[in-house]
Structure 1
Amino acid sequence: MSLRIGLISDTHGLLRPQALAWLQGSDYIVHGGDIGSQDILDQLAQIAPVTAVRGNNDRDGWAMQVPETDFLQVGELFIYALHDLALLDIDPAGAGVRVVVTGHSHKPLIEEREGVLYVNPGSAGPRRFTLPISAGELIVDGAQVSARIEHLVP
């Protein structure tokens, strides 16, 4: 049986209806930081268990309880989340991590390097420059994983 992990990042306090609709049916949700408010996490938690990391703009008191990095284990698969990929502080392959989820750049990315899948779902919050409004998903089936990015707003 496969599991769906909804991926979202850089909401900056804006949880669009399109993002909520996209995340429906997720078994887990990973938020890649720059959340914007505790309310965003509370709304996501109504859909599925949330793993969230603090972004560089998450500075208010509520955010101090949100870790800068976190692990999620789904079956045999380990996922590592952090906001800014440039601050990666582990060797993912050496640590047994199969997927690294990030945010920060607002640029959607799916890239595999040395057996590790790097996924940035892009920004689901306010539009930045001409970058897309997007979210993502991981489909996990045992030790197999695939990723996909969804553009939420034209």
Structure 2
Amino acid sequence: MKVGVISDTHGLLRPEAIAALEGCEQIIHAGDIGSQDIVEQLGAIAPLHIVRGNNDVDAEWATSIADHLRFDIEGWQVLLVHDIADVPALLDDSVKLVVTGHSHKPLIEWRGNTLYLNPGSAGRRRFKLPVTLALLEVSSDAMEPRLVQLLE
């Protein structure tokens, strides 16, 4: 299963991001979405798992969106939360994929049997950080993430 992972759009869904997410069977957005319009555009591509980011908390359109989610993809337990600082209080041994955003810094790191994935920011460039999202190939016995650079 192909899963798109995106974060920190901050109200900007680039055409390059839409193109990269085409063909995904699910999309995960790790917060700082920025607008209901982005939720609708992503939802038109594939079913969505989303959380609020710190910049979404006070937005009226985001009041029904959770601060963290746990769900299953192909038998893998996923924890989705915007800020990695919130992970320790929510983590247990059943979680095999932790998806975060917030820092705008892409990260793919295995910690024991758990994959930590931050797709970076797909929104406006911040400092000199790359503009990225991640694609994740998931099967019942493997997860293979890769970063996709959206801008040079």
Q: Same fold (TM over 0.5)?
A: yes
Q: Percent identity?
A: 48
State which of 139, 142, 145 in structure 1 corresponds to 2:143: 145
Q: CA–CA distance in 1 between the matches of 2:70 and 2:39?
A: 17
Q: Which deviations, in whole Å up to 9, do the C-alpha atoms of 1:82-112 show, x marking residues without a partner? A: 00001112224x2x11110000000000001
Q: CA–CA distance in 1 between the matches of 2:62 and 2:74?
A: 28
How is 1:2-151 mapped onto 2 (pairs within 5 angstroms)? Answer: 3-58=1-56, 59-88=58-87, 89-92=89-92, 94=93, 96-151=94-149
Q: CA–CA distance in 1 between the matches of 2:65 and 2:141?
A: 28
**Structure 1 moving runs of 4+ over 4 Å:** none
SS across alignment from 1:98: strand
Q: Which deviations, in whole Å up to 9, do the C-alpha atoms of 1:107-134 show, x marking residues without a partner? A: 0000010210000000000110000000
* Structure 1: 5+ residue stretches without partners: none
Q: CA–CA distance in 2 between the matches of 1:79 and 1:137?
A: 15
SS across alignment from 2:66: coil
How many residue pairs are counted as aligned between the two chains?
150
Q: CA deviation at 1:78?
A: 1.4
Q: TM-score, normalised to structure 2's length?
A: 0.96
* Structure 2: 5+ residue stretches without partners: none
SS across alignment from 2:120: coil
Q: Which deviations, in whole Å up to 9, do the C-alpha atoms of 1:30-76 show, x marking residues without a partner? A: 00100001110100000000000000000211111110001231121
Q: CA–CA distance in 2 between the matches of 1:16 and 1:45?
A: 15
